[in-house]
Amino acid sequence: MELTTEVFFENNPVPMWIYDRETLAILEVNRAAVAAYGYSRDEFLRLTIADIRPPEDVPALADVVRTGVPALSHSGVWRHRLKSGAIIHADVTSHEVAYRGRGARLVSCRDVSHQVAIERENAALLAREREVRRLAEDAADRFRTLFEAAPGAFLVLAPGTWEIVAASDAYLEATMRSRRDIVGRQLFDAFPADPADPSGDGVQKLRESLERVEATGQTDVMAIQRYPIPQPPEHGGGFVERWWSSVNTPAKAPDGAILHIIHRVTDVTEVVRGPAGDAIPDASPDSAGAVAWSLGEVLSSVRESTAASTRMRAEDGYLRLAKRMLGFGIWSLDVDTRAVQWSDNVYRIFGLGRGEFAGSWTAQLERVHPEDRDLLQASLDAFLASGRRRMDFAHRLVRPDGTIAHVRGAAELEGGQEHRRLIGVVQDITRELASESQLASTLEQISDAFYTLDECWRFSFLNGQAEKLLRRARTGLLGRVVWDEFPGAVGTTFQQQYERAVQARETVRFTEYFAPLDSWFEVVAYPTAGGLAVYFRDVTERRRAEEALRASEERFRLIARATNDVIWDWDLRAGTVWWNEAMHLVFGFRRESLEPGPESWLGRIHPDDRPRVSAGIHAAMDGVATTWADEYRFVRADGRYATVADRGFVIRDGAGKAVRMLGSMTDITERRELDERLRQSQRLEAIGQLTGGIAHDFNNLLTVIIGNSEMLCEELADQPSRKQLADMTAAAAERGAELTNRLLAFARRQPLEPRPIDVNRLVAGMDGLLRRTLSEDIEIEFVRAAGLWIAEVDGAQLESALLNLVINARDAMPDGGRLTIETGNASLDEEYAAMHGELVPGQYVMVSVSDTGTGMPPDVVARAFDPFFTTKEAGKGSGLGLSMVYGFVKQSGGHVRIYSEQGEGTTARLYLPRVKAGSIDQPAPARGAGVIGGGEHILVVEDDDLVREHLIAQLRGLGYRVTGASAGRAALAELERNADIDLLFTDVVMPGGMNGRQLADTARARWPALKVLFTSGYTENAIVHHGRLDRGVHLLSKPYRRGELAAKLRRVLDEPNRGA
């Protein structure tokens, strides 16, 4: 590691170590790890990462190592064992590093034991909370079932609205209703007045009674009332007359607020109607039937007595039911004698039998908890002295078995001054207080913050989490108004939603930012009988994470817009793919025109590549890979295919299932074309090296063969059969020479002599040759541009190249056609040049050869310039014609392109560099047909003995005096001995440390008048640079004919002497 990295690693406060990926041995550890784990550094370095795991966790570690760990990995929470033996939970992150030449991973660990414990504790608390809720719901269900089955006709009404909350079975039976028909409806909506009985006042009387209960908080007993009941359709419809004896009793909360009204009725219809079943008619003492009135009065009195008796029995039953269901006990105290009477329930509450209580206030006071005894006595004395009618109390009592019970009760004072009696009720509330305590404990331990507000917006309860999130102690908040303590909430969503919950009696849920605490809260508030209950939690980190995610997504969008790459986002669950704007810029597809799913991608992959690419990406998604990459062809909007490099990242859920992929496509078409050009250049270089090695020796042999064949053809002129063999030998040698020259041309190794050329004049000069080359059914046309620039090119090689193109065009038109040779000026800009490698921007002379032949498919066009590639039948083409054209044009600094369509024809365009100065090269005047020799003295330098002897013989046959040498040093010695040597005729490539160029330079330095002619089958760079012969150099390329040799010698010997 570098120094800065070492400092960071050693001083990082997070425990870190480096381990060997193969052996798992710990290679390095920082100070924080030594301090946290208790091992010394040396002890750490003797451990593996398996040694710090509990034994039962090692197999899981082995599985992870075996399946492979991504380069950058968040491994999750693992258990680690400290030196002390204690187990901690550590959140582990690692990534690959190279450490002292070894494959390793750098690990950082964060102790999250406390968080893990809290999460487990929270899970347990939530489970307990759910259990408490379930028990509460079960208790409510049992109480509801008990209430509904209780004897007597009851309704439970909501105060204010008189909405029916519950009904007993007996009430439903008496009114011929089902619970579904009436529960939740307003009382007088469910049981309206009879519209056909305008004088009926039952509804009005009942309404007045209910209003009295709400106004006074006291039970209201109604007189017997006629109350017609709506009769369901299945019972005939209409209204049926009923006579009710009703009692309306308030059910109050500990603070005296009315929670519900119990509407209890007794059906006394049969009593009122009498045995005959008819109601007694109204009568008046002023009427004529006074006797009847007296009788009616008697009957009425009897019926009232009977009704009163019935009510008393009913009320006694209800009282017993209340005592049984609610646990009430009834007691009385004679204020004067202090005698006390208990009901059975009071004995049960105190845990005493009837014989165990003395029946006095003193005896009762003895059972009160010692700490509450004086307070109770003082409360009683104060009540009796106050003149008030009602007394409320609550205290603890001690039962004989030592258990402590909590009781509460109320009593009312009856009688006058002579005899006063206190009659009251008492209830065991031990379980209720325990439940409240348990509820408070549960609320204290739940993960959410919780508080309650009373109807005046005062805090009535807060749990510990609420203190923590509000950053205030509960002692400073209880009993205080929330808007006073948190004025920053006034007028905000908090106040608006809380008021809505209370006014609409509905639960509200919202998430809001509270600036004074710089926190986001998720709130659930629901109305209660006493005010408002609020659950809330701090979601600041989550909101910040969401904001960070949104910011990250926005950055991703901006990056996606800024990059030239095509960015894609594949939602695997929804089956949709998103593309950035580069999809249009790079490939021409507008995003709104693309299919929404992955078919927008797969459907545009080249059919030959599609199965492979699809299989590869699905293998990555279905496995455990986190990345995927491939290279394939992708169609553009214009139908052309681009080569793209595609790379994606797999995003997985907690179960390891791939849920999303993000990636980018890069158009690498130009890069691949550059790579191909580089490979082409390297291939050319390799072929050039190979060709050069072959050409030197092969051309030496061909020189001898061609020369001897010519001599044999001359000497065997009178022997036709033998001359035919000599001609065959000469023709074969010529074909071999042509093959070698074409290879040298393709490899750009042939020596060129470029000169300013008028291409129009050159093409015109080839007219006859070209027409003889073409068949009669092919029409030829020349289109020569006016004002054509002058090209710098080797004229002979250009003629050869054009001839090759014309022959290829002819072969592509076996049934005839049209061939066009066209010239023109062309300017190739930088953009075009950048697309074609070695091309230099500038001005060029263009000459093209077009045919109307069969054309070529794209794959054939791509290989047209490859050496030995041909589509012709065996024996009809060497595959080197276009290769020679390509090599010649490139060596000349030009450019060549082929355009072809099957069934339409082919056009080959040559771009030759323009020259702006210099005189146009004129064809040399033709010499006489004979071979001209001479008598000058020529020094022949050739390392190949066979070639040297053959050349000496040919030169002597031409009349020259000849001296031979096999190497440069020997040649210099001959020059020293023979002062009359006129011309040095030397091979270029020779062994011995001195090549032909070095020999010529040395000789000319000493003998400036000496003429020099080079010969070679492969020149390398001795006399040819940048594909061109050096200025002033004469070269006769091997193999050559005797006539070429004689002509070249005379041209050099007859050239004026230029001196040094």
* Cβ atoms 470, 459 nearer than 8 A: no
Phi, psi of 341 (to 5 degrees): -120, 140
Rounded to 10 degrees, what is the CA torsion of 464, 469, 471, 477? -60
Amino acid residing at 35: A
Do domains 150-276 and 544-667 share one topology? The answer is: yes
Is the pLDDT score of 860 beyond 50?
yes
- Around 997, how many Cα atoms within 13 Å sit in the side-chain half-sphere? 14
* Cβ atoms 700, 1040 nearer than 8 A: no
More confident residue, 460 or 726: 460
Question: What pairs with residue 569 in β-bridges?
Answer: 578, 662
More confident residue, 229 or 297: 229
Residue 285's pLDDT is what? 37
Is the pLDDT score of 284 beyond 50?
no
Q: Minimal CA–CA distance to 246: which of 271, 263, 227, 260? A: 263
Confidence of residue 570 (pLDDT cuts 50, 70, 90): very high
* Cβ atoms 906, 819 nearer than 8 A: no
Percent of the chain past pLDDT 70, that is, above it, reads: 82
Residue 400's pLDDT is what? 93
More confident residue, 448 or 301: 448
- Token look-up 């040649």 returns 971
CB neighbours of residue 117 within 10 Å: 11
Is the pLDDT score of 152 beyond 60?
yes
Confidence of residue 1021 (pLDDT cuts 50, 70, 90): low
Rounded to 10 degrees, what is the CA torsion of 837, 842, 846, 851? 40
Residue 1031's pLDDT is what? 73
Q: Minimal CA–CA distance to 1033: which of 1004, 994, 992, 991? A: 1004
Which one of 8-17, 197-206, 389-398, 1025-1034 scores highest in mean pLDDT?
Answer: 389-398
**Listing from the earlier edge strand, what are the strands of the sheet with 1035-1037?**
961-965, 937-941, 983-987, 1011-1016, 1035-1037
Amino acid residing at 835: M
Multiple choice CATH, 544-667, 3.50.50.60, 3.30.450.20, 3.20.20.70, 3.40.1390.30: 3.30.450.20
- Residue 270's contacts (CB-CB under 8 Å, 6 or more residues apart) are none
Confidence of residue 125 (pLDDT cuts 50, 70, 90): confident
> Per residue in 931-966, pLDDT tens?
688 889 999 999 888 889 989 988 998 999 999 999
Domain 752-913 in this protein, CATH class: alpha beta
Is the pLDDT score of 381 beyond 50?
yes
Confidence of residue 515 (pLDDT cuts 50, 70, 90): very high
Confidence of residue 726 (pLDDT cuts 50, 70, 90): confident
327-428: CATH topology is: Beta-Lactamase (3.30.450)
Residue 919's pLDDT is what? 54
In angstroms, the CA 383 to CA 396 distance is 19
More confident residue, 900 or 691: 900
Structure token pair of residue 831: 């953009």
Residue 302's pLDDT is what? 38
Residue 299's pLDDT is what? 38
Residue 235's pLDDT is what? 73
Is the pLDDT score of 1026 beyond 60?
no
Structure token pair of residue 17: 């170590």
Is the pLDDT score of 719 beyond 90?
no
* Cβ atoms 617, 630 nearer than 8 A: yes
Report the range of poorest mean pLDDT among 175-189, 592-606, 835-849, 913-927: 913-927
Report the range of poorest mean pLDDT among 166-175, 726-735, 773-782: 726-735
Q: Minimal CA–CA distance to 778: which of 804, 811, 738, 737? A: 811
Multiple choice CATH, 448-538, 3.40.50.1970, 3.90.470.20, 3.30.450.20, 3.20.20.450: 3.30.450.20
Per-position DSSP letters for 776-818, written without gaps between them: TTEEEEEEPPTTPPPEEE-HHHHHHHHHHHHHHHHHT-TT-EE
More confident residue, 90 or 742: 90
What stretches of 931-1044 adopt beta strand conformation (E)? Answer: 937-941, 961-965, 983-987, 1011-1016, 1024-1025, 1028-1029, 1035-1037
Give domain limits for the chain.
3-111, 113-143, 150-276, 327-428, 448-538, 544-667, 752-913, 937-1054
Residue 439's pLDDT is what? 57
* Cβ atoms 825, 785 nearer than 8 A: yes
Residue 925's pLDDT is what? 47
User: Is the omega angle on the peptide bond into residue 159 within 30 degrees of 0, that is, cis?
Assistant: no
Confidence of residue 5 (pLDDT cuts 50, 70, 90): low
Q: According to DSSP H, which parts of 892-991 are helical?
A: 945-957, 968-977
Residue 954's pLDDT is what? 87
Amino acid residing at 903: G
**Listing from the earlier edge strand, what are the strands of the sheet with 340-342?**
340-342, 328-334, 421-428, 404-414, 390-398
Is the pLDDT score of 823 beyond 70?
yes
In angstroms, the CA 1009 to CA 982 distance is 8
- Token look-up 């187990």 returns 87
Average pLDDT over the chain, rounded to an integer: 82
**CATH 3.30.450.20 correct for 150-276:** yes
> Per residue in 845-855, pLDDT tens?
999 999 999 88
**Cα 1052 to Cα 776, 914, 1013, distances in angstroms:** 43, 30, 7
Is the pLDDT score of 1036 beyond 60?
yes
- Token look-up 């204290």 returns 444
Q: Are strands 531-538 and 449-454 parallel, antiparallel or unpaired?
A: antiparallel
CB neighbours of residue 649 within 10 Å: 14
Report the range of poorest mean pLDDT among 110-114, 431-435, 476-480: 431-435
Q: Are strands 842-851 and 895-901 parallel, antiparallel or unpaired?
A: unpaired
* Cβ atoms 419, 336 nearer than 8 A: yes
Per-position DSSP letters for 913-937, written without gaps between them: EB--SSPPPPPPPP--SSPP----E
Rounded to 10 degrees, what is the CA torsion of 441, 442, 446, 452? -80
- Token look-up 């750098």 returns 106
Is the pLDDT score of 339 beyond 60?
yes
Confidence of residue 62 (pLDDT cuts 50, 70, 90): confident
For 317-324, the CB contacts below 8 A with 24+ separation are: 317/151, 317/152, 318/152, 318/264, 321/150, 321/151, 321/152
Q: Minimal CA–CA distance to 465: which of 445, 441, 438? A: 445
Q: Minimal CA–CA distance to 689: which of 742, 753, 744, 741? A: 744
More confident residue, 596 or 870: 596
Confidence of residue 970 (pLDDT cuts 50, 70, 90): very high
Secondary structure of residue 240 in the 3-state scheme? strand
Report the range of poorest mean pLDDT among 24-33, 698-707, 884-893: 698-707
Q: Are strands 817-828 and 778-783 parallel, antiparallel or unpaired?
A: parallel
Confidence of residue 872 (pLDDT cuts 50, 70, 90): low
Confidence of residue 442 (pLDDT cuts 50, 70, 90): low
What stretches of 388-544 adopt beta strand conformation (E)? Answer: 390-398, 404-414, 421-428, 449-454, 459-462, 508-514, 519-528, 531-538
In angstroms, the CA 641 to CA 607 distance is 11
Residue 226's pLDDT is what? 78
In angstroms, the CA 308 to CA 304 distance is 6
Residue 930's pLDDT is what? 58
Longest C-alpha distance within the chain, in Å? 190
Structure token pair of residue 727: 């001609």
> Per residue in 752-803, pLDDT tens?
778 899 999 999 988 888 888 888 889 999 999 999 999 988 888 898 889 8
Percent of the chain past pLDDT 90, that is, above it, reads: 34
Question: What pairs with residue 629 in β-bridges?
Answer: 647
Amino acid residing at 358: A
Phi, psi of 148 (to 5 degrees): -65, -30
Question: What pairs with residue 644 in β-bridges?
Answer: 632, 667
- Mean pLDDT in residue range 617-639: 94
In angstroms, the CA 449 to CA 461 distance is 11
Structure token pair of residue 712: 């044999």
Residue 608's pLDDT is what? 95
Structure token pair of residue 557: 């969008």
Multiple choice CATH, 3-111, 3.30.450.20, 3.40.50.1000, 3.40.50.850, 1.20.1250.20: 3.30.450.20
Residue 955's pLDDT is what? 92
Domain 937-1054 in this protein, CATH class: alpha beta
CB neighbours of residue 963 within 10 Å: 17
Q: Are strands 905-913 and 164-167 parallel, antiparallel or unpaired?
A: unpaired
Question: What pairs with residue 662 in β-bridges?
Answer: 569, 649
Is the pLDDT score of 486 beyond 90?
yes
- Mean pLDDT in residue range 663-687: 80
Is the pLDDT score of 1020 beyond 90?
no
